[in-house]
Amino acid sequence: MTGMADRSEFQIASALPWASGFMFALIGFFALLVASRAGGSLMYWIGLAIFALAVLAIFFLIAKAADHTD
């Protein structure tokens, strides 16, 4: 039974970066929508800043996956 528990933990651990990347992509997309619909310059720059942070977070996830060695 412990073998099955180890496999399920491995599957959850391997799916977490994919879920995080998907969430960052959604946040970045919605931030671009906010920036495109902004009435003032403040919301435009906030939307672009959040998009840039989401892109940086995705690049970090990619770099972390590339450095990961088993």
Task: Specify the pLDDT at position 8.
Answer: 60
Q: What angle do CA 59, 64, 65 make, to 5 degrees?
A: 100
What is the DSSP code (8-state) at residue 2? H
- pTM here? 0.77
pLDDT tens-digit readout, 25-64: 999 999 999 999 998 899 999 999 999 999 999 999 999 8
pLDDT tens-digit readout, 7-23: 566 677 778 888 999 99
Q: Residue 48: in which H helix or E strand, if any?
A: helix 41-67
Both structure tokens of 66: 């590339």
Structural domain boundaries in the chain: 17-67
SS3 string of 25-43? HHHHHHHHHHHHCCCCHHH
Task: Specify the pLDDT at position 53.
Answer: 98
Q: How far apart are alpha carbons 17 and 20 in whole angstroms?
A: 5
